[in-house]
Amino acid sequence: MLNTMYFQRLKTFIASSLLTLTPLTLHAFELPGANLADNDRYDTLPPMIAEALAQLSTPASTTPAYITEFEQYIAQTVAPSVPGAALLVVADGKVQVMNGYGVRKVGTHDPVTPDTVFRLASVSKTIASAAAGLLVQENKLLWDSPVASTLSNVSFKNAQYGKLITVRDILAHTTGLPAHAYTNLIEARVPYEEAVKRLGTLDFTCPPHRCYGYQNVVFSLIGDIIYAKSGKNYEDFVVDNLFRPLGMNSASFGLEALEQNRNYAQPHVWRRGQWKNVKINTNYYKVAPAAGANASIRDMASWMLAHLGQRPDVLPTTTLDDMQAKVIKTSVARSHYGVQKNIINTYYGLGWRVFDFGAHKNFVHHGGWVQGYRAEMVFNRELQIGMVFLTNSETRLARDVILNFVNLYEQHRQSELTPQLLRADAKTH
């Protein structure tokens, strides 16, 4: 009995892993034969592949209507208005949609595929938080470790407040420093190290832990902390402990790694009524923990499933609980979403935004925006649903994509519940 249970768990693990290794191009029920020639940087296929592939090849249940409607919205409304995009949708804990749309560069016929690499911009913050969580799991770091005890070279104008800043504050943007402290220096191509030195000139807007102020330079101190605690530079630590184990074969950091992959999406900005291809702006690659990662939508499928709790061998449930906890309440009116009918509360966790939507709590989300790229990821671990949208443009539709996805899910749940409620009501009369 024990061996049977172990065998079933192992099959499930392999099946979820293979979602990142087989060339899944459209829906979960369309699996062409495995061909890893172009996408096998790290690992070969695990044993027991034949049975796991047979399990994956079984046709999925009928795609929920809300997913079909959402996919049509992307294909008919969003995709025609941008140069290129990639979409991932997960429902019932399974990949339902993994599509590419449009082209990698305007004026060409190079298509966006599930393996096309985009910049993640601030979705990179979710990776940094997970990396810190691994060190917490290994008892090499505490969420409430004072930053000053690890980074002796970082000083603050108010020394007493500076001593109170913790790892949790860095990841939750609750240091008490002014929002976007010296983000302007990153835009001005000032080296990261110089921007960190200048943090010591800033007045605090509140004591640490008390207020929310979104950061890039300050947030990136987590990379320095990870280096100090692990002995590896931040990028190598993430590759070795997250990207490789999760099979995120195309994920990387920085411009050089992006351009080494021939299948990457080039950036576009809107000028004179059309999308124009522009040179890659490298400024935010200087703050890798905050905004320096690159990944394909196939990579993001692995990232999504891990955050839905399906890879506890890499990201344990306790780490997910910590990351997705509501650390600080944020203003709904001034939030990423603006005032929306169904968004009840908004918070920031550890590298993630969290919001309550309609009848459902704890939607976890992060977006990203650097010149020429937008990225959005949203999921609900309890509901086992999620969506990732990547584009090589600065379209303002990116925010609408998140809201449409959760709206359609909410409508779907209401339509399912209404007949049940009517039947229950009828039984009482």
Pick left, alpha or beta for residue 93 (phi over 0 → left; psi -120 to 50 → alpha; otherwise beta). left
Asked if residue 15 is part of any domain, the answer here is no
Which pLDDT belongs to residue 428?
53
Distance of CA 326 to the CA centre of its chain: 17
178/214 Cα distance (integer angstroms): 8
* Percentage above 90 pLDDT, the chain: 77
Q: Is it the case that residue 193 has pLDDT exceeding 80?
A: yes
343/337 Cα distance (integer angstroms): 8
Vertex 239: Cα angle to 17 and 372 (nearest 5)? 95
CATH of the domain at 70: 3.40.710.10
Nearest to 156 by CA among 188, 185, 181, 184: 181
Say which residues have a Cβ less than 8 Å from residue 325's Cβ, sequence separation at least 6: 349, 350, 354
The more confident residue out of 83 and 11 is 83
Which pLDDT belongs to residue 61?
54
Asked if residue 389 is part of any domain, the answer here is yes
Stretch 116-141: mean pLDDT, rounded? 99
Helix (H, G, I), strand (E, B), or coil: what is residue 138? Answer: coil
Which pLDDT belongs to residue 124?
99
Q: Are 86 and 104 in contact (CB under 8 A)?
A: no
Q: Is it the case that residue 33 has pLDDT exceeding 90?
A: no
Give the residues across from 357 on adjacent strands.
343, 360
Task: Report in angstroms the alpha-carbon separations of 178 from 181, 215, 231, 280.
Answer: 6, 8, 31, 28
The more confident residue out of 145 and 33 is 145
- Taking each continuous run of H as one helix and of E as one strand, the counts in the chain are 16, 13
Neighbours of 131 (CB within 10 A): 22
Most confident stretch, 62-66, 241-245, 358-362, 397-401: 241-245
pLDDT-wise least confident of 67-71, 263-267, 418-422: 418-422
Asked if residue 314 is part of any domain, the answer here is yes
Which pLDDT belongs to residue 57?
41
Which pLDDT belongs to residue 319?
98
Q: Is it the case that residue 22 has pLDDT exceeding 60?
A: no
Asked if residue 54 is part of any domain, the answer here is no
Which pLDDT belongs to residue 21?
40
Q: Is it the case that residue 16 has pLDDT exceeding 70?
A: no
Furthest CA-CA distance within the chain: 73
378/387 Cα distance (integer angstroms): 5
Mean pLDDT of the residues in the chain: 87
Tell me the two tokens of residue 245. Answer: 């184990």
Which residue range forms the structural domain that includes residue 385? 62-423
Residue-wise pLDDT for 200-209, tens only, equals 999 999 999 9
Which pLDDT belongs to residue 23?
35
Residue type, 84: G
Q: What is the DSSP string of 373-392?
A: EEEEEEEETTTTEEEEEEES
Total number of domains in the chain:
1
Give the residues across from 23 on adjacent strands.
none
pLDDT-wise least confident of 2-6, 109-113, 333-337: 2-6
Nearest to 85 by CA among 118, 125, 121: 118
Which pLDDT belongs to residue 341?
78
Q: Are 199 and 177 in contact (CB under 8 A)?
A: yes
Residue-wise pLDDT for 150-163, tens only, equals 999 999 999 999 99
Which pLDDT belongs to residue 332?
80
What distance, in Å, lies between the first and last C-alpha atoms of the chain? 48
Asked if residue 176 is part of any domain, the answer here is yes
Residue type, 149: S
Q: Is it the case that residue 324 has pLDDT exceeding 90?
A: yes
Stretch 290-301: mean pLDDT, rounded? 99
